[in-house]
Amino acid sequence: MKALQKAVLRNLVTSVILYEKVKTTQAKAKAAKVLVEKMILLGQRKNPAAVRKLYQFFPDKNAAKKIKEDLVERFGKRKSGFVRTARIGFRAGDAAEMVQMELILPQKIEKEKVKTKIRVKPKTEKIEKPQKIKQPQKIKQPKKAAPVEKKKKGWFEFATKKVWRKRTTQK
């Protein structure tokens, strides 16, 4: 791997660690995913040699510090599966497939002691409401339609109907 490629991947891994979510191309994400997982596993070792390797790898020392202090505690004893990639479409300029890399962080569960008060509901007697008397409904009879007078067709209606039939049936 060339020095420029290494630098790009180191910066991408640093961004993933610091910001926990990054948009990049699929090829870069595939290469960076392996490095992110290796760095988190190095942080879980907690021996001085592993810590030195972390600080050597990252150009920004805050990323190594975050792994050592924050991410190791949040991931616990998990051995793999720290990063998720999701496709988000294609880039407008060169139609490269874009993905979003993000750390799969477990939810923080805060244990709070909640004081519970026992509430006793007073017993209430049910009061019967007077029932309404239903009145018989009037049956509506359908109205009869008035007879429609048939109008004799004039010559104009007859002619336009004939022309319309010709125009719609011809191909």
Q: In sequence order, which residues have a C-beta less than 8 Å from that of residue 10 and are 6 or more positions away? A: 35, 57, 58, 59
Residues 68 and 39: their CA atoms lie apart, in Å, by 10
Is there a domain that residue 91 lies in? yes
Residue 73 lies in a domain: yes
Taking the CA of residue 122 as centre, how many other CA atoms within 13 Å lie in the half-sphere pointing to its CB? 2
Looking at residues 59-86, what average pLDDT do you find? 92
Q: How many domains does the chain have?
A: 1
In a domain, 41, yes or no: yes
pLDDT tens across 129-146, in order?
777 777 777 777 777 776
Is 115 inside a domain boundary? no
Structural domain that includes position 13? 3-103
Asked whether residue 163 is domain-assigned, the answer is no
* Cα distances (angstroms) measured from residue 145 to each of 139, 142, 148, 154: 18, 9, 8, 26
- Residues β-bridged to residue 25: 98
> Has residue 109 been placed in a domain?
no
Q: What is the mean pLDDT of the chain?
A: 82
pLDDT at 104: 92
CATH number at residue 8: 3.90.1030.10
